[in-house]
Amino acid sequence: MLNTLWLIPITPFAGFLLNGLFGKRAGKGFVTAVALAASLGAALLGTVAVFQYTALYEHGQRHVDVAYQWFSSGGIGTDIAFQLDPLSIVMLMVVTWVGFLIHLYSAGYMAHEEGYWRYFAYLNLFLAAMLILILGSSYLFLFVGWEGVGLCSYLLIGFYYQTDYAPAAGKKAFIVNRIGDFGFLIAMFLMFGWFGSVDYAKVSQIAAAGGIEPSILTAICLLLFLGACGKSAQIPLYVWLPDAMAGPTPVSALIHAATMVTAGVYMVARSNALYRLSPTAMLVVAVTGALTALFAATIGVRQWDIKKVLAYSTVSQLGFMFIGVGVGAFTAGVFHLITHAFFKACLFLGSGAVIHGLHGEQDISKMGGLRKYMPSTAWTFAIATVAITGVLPISGFFSKDEILAQALNTSAFKFLTFTPDPTGPKLGFLGPLIYVVGTITAGLTSFYMWRCYLLTFHGEYRGPTDVHPHESPGVMTIPLWVLAALSVVALVIVLPIHDFAWSWEHFTEGLFAHPRGGAPAEHLPAVVTFGIAVVIAWAGFAVAWSLYKPARNIAGDAAFERAVPRVRRALVEKLYVDDAYEWLFVKPLWRLARGLWRVFDAAIIDGVFVNGSAQLVAAVGALARRFQNGNVQRYAAVTAMGVAALVYLLLVRT
Amino acid sequence: MGFEGGGLLSLVIFLPLAGAIVVLFLPRGEGGMHKGVALITSIVTFLFSLPLWLRFRPTARGWQFEQKADWAPSLGFGYHVGLDGIALLLVMLTTFLAPIAILSSWKYVQDRVKEYSLALLVLETAMIGTLAALDLVLFYVFWEAMLIPMYLLIGLWGSDRRIYAAVKFFLFTFVGSVLMLIAIFWLWSNSGRLGGARTFDYGAVAQLTGSLPLETQRWLFWAFALAFAIKVPIWPLHTWLPDAHTEAPASGSIILAGVMLKMGTFGFVRYAMPLFPHAALEAAPAIGALGVTGIVYGSLMCMAQTDMKRLIAYSSVAHLGFVMLGLSALSAEAVNGAVLQMVNHGVSTGALFLLIGYLYERTHTRDLAAYGGLAKVTPALAAVFVVVTLSSIGLPGTNGFIGEFLILLGTFIAPMGTWTIFGGQVSKGVLLSVVAATGVILGAVYMLWLVQRVFFGPLRKAATHGLADLTFREWLCVAPLLCAILVIGVYPMPFLAASLLPANDLIARVRPRAAAVPRPQGARLFLPPGASR
C-alpha cells in the first residue's frame, strides 16, 4: 500500500467518474453504492497505509511515493508524488473517516433531491482532491488539490443552480479564493527561484541550512498566508464562507467546516520550518487569527440562520487555529483542527437534521422545543456544543485552552520590535494581548453557541403548525452519534500528560522542530489558565441562559435588542463588510472595465486610429478625385505647372 | 527524400489543396457532398499527420521531414519545407482542429457550400504551409494565402456586420504583411554578402542576420514584428479580432482563434526573434510589457461584454498576452510554457467557440441577457462548457494550468534586468510576472460570470424554447477537444518535450550570455538567484 499511495485519491475519483458518467441513468441505488464504496474504500486504504507506515517508520519521518514526472522544463521538474508523515496521517484519517460519515449521512439527507447523482459525484471528486491536497509531497501538488477542492466547493455551493443566490455564492467563493491563490502562486515562484524546488523536504532543508535572506522568507510566508486566508476564510478574505452556506448542509459540514477550510492551517503547519524563521510572518498570522476569531464571533452573536451561526463560528474557530500556528504552537493548532473537525461536523450535521426535520426551515426564530421531537439530534448537538464552548473539559476545551496558554507564554514575539532597530520597543506584550482577545472570543463563543442551542431545542415550538418536526432516519443519526462520541474521546490524545505514548504531542514528535511556542507555565501555571477558561465558558453560558432560558426563550431577544439597538443592526448586517467590498472593489472594477472598453477600445483605438485612418484615406481620395475630372484644360494646366516646377528644380536650382 | 522524410510533410501540406481541387470539379448544388469531401480530406490529412508526430525525434537537432526542391534558382527561392518541434506541435494542432471546424458548422452553413468547403481546405493548406516553410518567399506566399479564404469566411458566411469585420481584418493584417515583404526583399538583396548567390532560404538568411549591426536589426525586427503583432494580436493592435470573431461563423472562429492567431506568435519564434537576436533582446521587455497589458486589459474588456463571442474574442487577447510574455521572457520554462500555451489556447478557445456556436444555432442570439438557466435543459452542454472554462482559467489538471504556470514561473525567474521604480530597482521579470498573475484572478471573474449568466439561475427567455442537448455530431466535435484538455493537463511531458530543443536554441541565439545582464546592487529582494545564471 505504501508504494501505491495514489490508490487512495484514485478510489473516490473513480467513484466520481462512475457517478458522473452513468449515475443519472443508473438510478439511486447504484449512485449510493458507488459513492459509499468509494469513500469507504479510500478510508480503508488510508488506514491500511497508516498501519504500514507506523510499522516501518520512526516518528516524524516521511515516506514518499513518486508516481511519475508531471512536467519539467529548464531547471524545474515536478513529480506527481504522495507522502505520508504524522501530519498527513492525521489529516488523512480525519478527511477519509469524517468524509465517509458525511457520505453516509448524505444518503439520507439528499434522498429526495433531483440531482442526487450529481451531488455524490461532486462529493467523491471533492474527497479525491482533498486527499491530493494532504498527501501531496510538494507545494505544487498541494496547490493541485487546493484548486481541486476549490472547484468542488464552487460546484457544491452552487448545487441548487436554478436559484440566483447559490451560483452567485459559488462564484464568490471561487473568485475570493483565487485572490488567495495569487499569493500562493507567487510564493511558489519565489521558492522555485530561491530554493530551486517546491518539495517540502528540500524547502525545509534549504531554509534550515540558512543563507536565505530573511526578507525572502518573510515574503514567501506572507504570500502563502494570503492563500491560507482565502481557503481558510480569514480577514480580509473570509467573506465567501458565510455565503457558502447556500450549498446543501452536509457539504457545509464536510467542506466548509471539517476539511477544506482547514487546508490553510495545514499549509502553515506544513511550512513551520519557514515560518519559524520569519517572526514577522508569525506575528501577522497570529494577529490575523486573533482578529478574525473575535470579529466572526461578534457577528455570530446576532445571526438567525442556524447555518450562518455555525459558519461564523467556523471562521472564528479557524482564527483560533491560526493563533495557534502563529504563536508557534503548531501541535496545538493542528490538534484544534482535529477536534474542530469532529464537533463542528457534528454541529453542522445536527443543523442539517433540524432543517431536514422542519422541511427546509433554517431560521432559529421559527424553531424551539425541538428536543421533544428529535432527541438524538438534540443530544448530539448538546455534546458538540459542550465541546466547542468548553463548559466541561472535553476535547475542544483542551485544544482551545492549549492554544491560548501557548499564546500567553509564547516567546515568538518577545524579541520583535516595531522598527528594524533592535533597541526599539519590544512586542513582548503581544502574546498576552492575543491571549486576552482569544479569551474574550471564547466567552462570546460560549454565548452564541448556547443561544443557538437554547433557541433551537428548548422552549416551545414556534414554527408553522402544518410542519411536523420529526427525527431523522438512522442513516443520519448514526453519523451524528459517532461524531459526538469522537468529540468526547478525542481528548484522550491531548490530555496534558506528557510522555503519554498515545499523546498527540508524542505522535508529532520530530515533525515540528519546536512543537510549543514557549516554555510551559512561564507566566501563569496551567491550573490558572484552565481555571480562567472554565470561568469564561460558564460566564458565556450564564449570559445565554439568563436571556434565552427555556421559560423565556425567544422573548429574551427583545431584552438584547433594547440594550444595544444600533450594535444589533450592524451585527445583522454583518458589520457592513460585504457592502464595503462591493463599493471599494467590485463596483469600481466593473466600472473600470466598461469605461475602458467604451473610451479606449471603441473611441480611441477604433474611433480615432482605425476608422480615423480609413477616413483620412477616403478624404485624400476625395481630394485626388478632383484632379481627375475629365477636364482636358485642367490636365494641361497641371501638366504645365509640373513641367515648370521640374525645369525650375533641374535648371535654375543647379 | 522518400515518403518517409519530406514527402510525408509535403503530402500533409497539399492534401487539403487536392481536396479543394476535387471540390472545385464537383457540380454545384450537391451541398452535402462538398462538405463531405472537405471533412474526409481534413480527416485523412490528420491521419497522415499522425506519423509526423510519431516519428518525430525531439532529441535530434536540425529540421526534420525536410524537403528541398528548386523553384526559381536564379531568383534565389525554392521549395524548402521542414519542421522543428514547435512547428510540429502547431501543425498537429491545425490538422486536429480542421475536421472539428468543418464539422462544427455542418448545419449552420447552407448556402454557397461549395465555396465554403473550398475556402476551408485552401486555408488548411496555407496554414500548414506557413508552419512548414523554410524559404522566405514560400513562407510569404502561404502567409498571404491564409488571408483570402479567411476574408471570405467572415465576409460571406458571417453575421450582420460581416463586411465591416472582413474588411477590417483584411486591412489590418495586410498592412502588417507589406512591411514584412519589404524586409524580406532587403534580406534577399543583402544575402549575397556572405558569398554565393542571393537567396531567400531561411538557413542562409539566418546566418547573415545574426551578425548585422543592432541598428539594422532593429528596423528589420520591427518590420517583421509588426506583421506578427497584428496577427497575434498584441495590444493595442487587437481591435480587428473581436469584430472578426463575432461576425465569423463558428468554423471560422475556431480556425481563427485555434490556429491563425498562433501564426503571429509562431512568426516571433521562427522569424522575428531568431533572425534579429540583438534587436529581439532589446525589445523583449517592451514586448513582455505589451503582453502583460494585453492580459490585464483583455480580461477587463471581457468583463464589459454582453456578446458571448466578443467576450471569448477578448479572452484570446488575454491568453495570447500570456504567450507573448513567455516568449519575451526568454527563459527555458517561459518559452516552453508559451509554446504549450499556443496549443492550449487553440484547444480551449477553439472549444469555447464551438460550444458558443452550438448555443447560437439553437437560440440565434449571442446576447448574454437572453440566456440563463440552460443547465436545466442542456445539462451535457453545460457540463462540457464548465470543463472547457476550467481549462481556460488554468485549473490544475487541465492543459491551461501547465502553460500559464510555466510562463509565469519562467518570467518570474528570467534574467531580464531591472527597471527603476520609485528609486528602487525591481526585476523586470518579477514585476511582469506578478502583474500578469492578476490575470489568473480576472480570468476566473469573467469566465465564471459567463457560465453563471448562461447556464445557472432560473430559466429565462431564449432557453424556454425547449432546447435540445448535445447531438451525436456535436459530441463528435467536442469529445476530442475534451480529451486533449485532460491529457495535456495530466501528462504534458510529450508535448513539452517537442519544444525543448527549439526553445533552447532560440534562447541561446537571442540571449547567448545570460550572465551578461548586470546584477545591480540593492535589488536583491526582487532578484532571485536564477537571475544571475
So what's the pLDDT on residue B514?
A: 53
- If you average pLDDT over residues B484-509, what whole number do you get? 90
Please state, for a pLDDT cut of 70, what percent of chain B lies above it: 93
Q: Any idea what the Cα angle at residue A57 is, between residues A52 and A58, rounded to 5°?
A: 140
Q: Do A73 and B333 touch (CB under 8 A)?
A: yes
Pairing of strands B64-72, A76-84: unpaired
Instruction: Name which of A84-93, A250-259, A483-492 the model is least confident about.
Output: A483-492
Q: Do A161 and B456 touch (CB under 8 A)?
A: yes
So what's the pLDDT on residue A496?
A: 52
User: Among all chains, which residue has been given the C-alpha cell 477636364?
Assistant: A631
**pTM, 2 dp:** 0.90
| pLDDT of B413 strictly over 50 | yes
Q: What is the DSSP string of B286-343?
A: HHHHHHHHHHHHHHHHHHT--BHHHHHHHHHHHHHHHHHHHHHH-SHHHHHHHHHHHH
A 141-170 → B contacts, CB under 8 A: 143-144, 147-148, 151, 154, 158, 161-164, 166-168
State pLDDT tens for residues B93-112: 999 999 999 888 777 777 78
Average pLDDT, chain B: 86
| pLDDT of A282 strictly over 70 | yes
More confident residue, A435 or A525: A435
Q: Do A593 and B304 touch (CB under 8 A)?
A: yes
Please state, for a pLDDT cut of 70, what percent of chain A lies above it: 93
User: Among all chains, which residue has been given the C-alpha cell 504549450?
Assistant: B340
- Contact (Cβ atoms closer than 8 angstroms) between residue A238 and residue A292: yes
Task: Please give the biggest Cα pair distance in chain B.
Answer: 74
Report residue B53: phi and psi, to 5°: -65, -45
Nearest to B262 by CA among B62, B509, B88, B73: B88
So what's the pLDDT on residue A399?
A: 83
Q: What confidence category does residue A353 fall into, taking pLDDT thresholds of 50, 70 and 90?
A: very high
Please state, for a pLDDT cut of 90, what percent of chain A lies above it: 37
State pLDDT tens for residues A569-579: 777 777 778 88
Q: What confidence category does residue A14 fall into, taking pLDDT thresholds of 50, 70 and 90?
A: very high
Q: Which amino acid is at A491?
A: L
Chain-centroid distance, C-alpha A551? 39
Instruction: Name which of A388-392, B340-344, B496-500 the model is least confident about.
Output: A388-392
Chain B residues inside the 8 Å CB shell of A68: 491
Please state, for a pLDDT cut of 90, what percent of chain B lies above it: 43
Instruction: Name which of A262-266, A300-304, A438-442, B207-211 the model is least confident about.
Output: B207-211
Name the residue among A167, A185, A592 with its Cβ closest to that of B300.
Answer: A592
How close B192 comes to chain A (CA, Å)? 36
So what's the pLDDT on residue B30?
A: 61
So what's the pLDDT on residue A506?
A: 65
Q: What confidence category does residue B523 fall into, taking pLDDT thresholds of 50, 70 and 90?
A: very low
Cell numbers at A648, concatenated: 525650375
- Contact (Cβ atoms closer than 8 angstroms) between residue A445 and residue A297: yes
DSSP A360: S
Neighbouring residues of B247: CB distance < 8 A, sequence distance ≥ 6: B154, B158, B159, B160, B161, B162, B164, B165, B166
Q: Write out A389-443 in H/E/C secondary structure.
A: HCCCCCHHHHHHHHHHHHHHHCCCCCCCECCCCCCCCECCCHHHHHHHHHHHHHH
Q: CA-CA distance, A413 to A39, in Å (whole number)?
A: 43
So what's the pLDDT on residue A495?
A: 55
Instruction: Name which of A34-38, B21-25, B519-523 the model is least confident about.
Output: B519-523
Cell numbers at A316, concatenated: 472564528
Residue B423: is it exposed, middle or buried by C-beta count within 10 angstroms (0-12/13-18/19+)? exposed
Which of A69, A73, A80, A213 best tests the B interface by mutation, with the highest count of B CBs <10 A? A73
| pLDDT of A18 strictly over 90 | yes
So what's the pLDDT on residue B5?
A: 60
Q: Do A74 and B333 touch (CB under 8 A)?
A: yes
So what's the pLDDT on residue B4?
A: 53
How close A585 comes to chain B (CA, Å)? 13
- If you average pLDDT over residues B61-85, what whole number do you get? 85
So what's the pLDDT on residue B126?
A: 94
A 67-96 → B contacts, CB under 8 A: 68-76
| pLDDT of B234 strictly over 70 | yes
So what's the pLDDT on residue B203?
A: 84
Q: What confidence category does residue B518 fall into, taking pLDDT thresholds of 50, 70 and 90?
A: very low
So what's the pLDDT on residue A504?
A: 64
| Nearest C-alpha in B relative to A188 | B409
| pLDDT of B519 strictly over 70 | no
Q: Any idea what the Cα angle at residue A273 is, between residues A267 and A277, rounded to 5°?
A: 115
Task: Please give the biggest Cα pair distance in chain A.
Answer: 119
- If you average pLDDT over residues A609-629, what whole number do you get? 80
Cell numbers at B456, concatenated: 445557472
Q: Any idea what the Cα angle at residue A615 is, between residues A609 and A621, rounded to 5°?
A: 135
| pLDDT of B173 strictly over 90 | no
Name the residue among A148, A196, A213 with its Cβ closest to that of B524.
Answer: A213
State pLDDT tens for residues A451-508: 999 989 988 888 888 888 888 888 889 999 999 998 888 766 655 555 545 566 666 6
So what's the pLDDT on residue B531?
A: 43
Instruction: Name which of A14-28, A489-503, A525-539, B169-183 the model is least confident about.
Output: A489-503
- If you average pLDDT over residues B256-278, what whole number do you get? 92
Q: Do A589 and B449 touch (CB under 8 A)?
A: no
Q: What confidence category does residue A532 fall into, taking pLDDT thresholds of 50, 70 and 90?
A: confident
Q: CA-CA distance, B151 to B498, in Å (whole number)?
A: 32
Q: What confidence category does residue B533 fall into, taking pLDDT thresholds of 50, 70 and 90?
A: very low
Q: Do B456 and A158 touch (CB under 8 A)?
A: yes
- If you average pLDDT over residues B388-394, what whole number do you get? 93
| pLDDT of B527 strictly over 50 | no
Does residue A585 sit at the B interface (CB-CB below 8 Å)?
A: no
| Nearest C-alpha in A relative to B415 | A193
Cell numbers at A507, concatenated: 505522535
| Nearest C-alpha in B relative to A70 | B491
State pLDDT tens for residues B431-451: 999 999 999 999 999 999 999
- Contact (Cβ atoms closer than 8 angstroms) between residue A355 and residue A306: yes
CB pairs under 8 A between A and B: 151
| pLDDT of B423 strictly over 80 | no
| pLDDT of B343 strictly over 70 | yes
State pLDDT tens for residues B476-485: 889 999 999 9
| pLDDT of B529 strictly over 70 | no
So what's the pLDDT on residue B461?
A: 67
State pLDDT tens for residues B123-149: 999 999 999 999 998 999 999 999 889
| pLDDT of A519 strictly over 60 | no
Does residue A176 sit at the B interface (CB-CB below 8 Å)?
A: no
Q: Predicted ipTM?
A: 0.89
So what's the pLDDT on residue B194?
A: 67
Q: Do A178 and B376 touch (CB under 8 A)?
A: no
Q: What confidence category does residue A188 fall into, taking pLDDT thresholds of 50, 70 and 90?
A: very high
Residue A479: is it exposed, middle or buried by C-beta count within 10 angstroms (0-12/13-18/19+)? buried
Q: What confidence category does residue B522 fall into, taking pLDDT thresholds of 50, 70 and 90?
A: very low
| pLDDT of A157 strictly over 90 | yes
So what's the pLDDT on residue B463?
A: 58
Residue B413: is it exposed, middle or buried by C-beta count within 10 angstroms (0-12/13-18/19+)? buried
Spell out the alpha helix ranges (H) of B56-108.
85-104
Q: CA-CA distance, B367 to B448, in Å (whole number)?
A: 16
- Contact (Cβ atoms closer than 8 angstroms) between residue B480 and residue B487: no
Instruction: Name which of A203-212, A232-241, B10-19, B220-229 the model is least confident about.
Output: A203-212
Q: Do A73 and B375 touch (CB under 8 A)?
A: no
* Segment holding A72, helix H or strand E: strand A63-73
DSSP A609: I
Q: What confidence category does residue A524 fall into, taking pLDDT thresholds of 50, 70 and 90?
A: low
| pLDDT of A51 strictly over 90 | no
Cell numbers at A197, concatenated: 524546488
So what's the pLDDT on residue A143?
A: 94
With left for phi above 0 and alpha for psi between -120 and 50, is residue B208 left, alpha or beta? alpha
So what's the pLDDT on residue A87?
A: 87
So what's the pLDDT on residue B521?
A: 35
So what's the pLDDT on residue B399?
A: 92
Q: CA-CA distance, B405 to A72, in Å (whole number)?
A: 12
Instruction: Name which of A106-110, A123-127, A213-217, B139-143 the model is least confident about.
Output: A213-217
Q: Give the sign of the dihedral formed by CA B386, CA B388, CA B392, CA B397.
A: positive
| pLDDT of B517 strictly over 70 | no
Neighbouring residues of B10: CB distance < 8 A, sequence distance ≥ 6: B67, B81
Q: CA-CA distance, B20 to B102, in Å (whole number)?
A: 13
So what's the pLDDT on residue A510?
A: 62
Report residue A550: phi and psi, to 5°: -50, -40
Q: What confidence category does residue B388 fall into, taking pLDDT thresholds of 50, 70 and 90?
A: very high
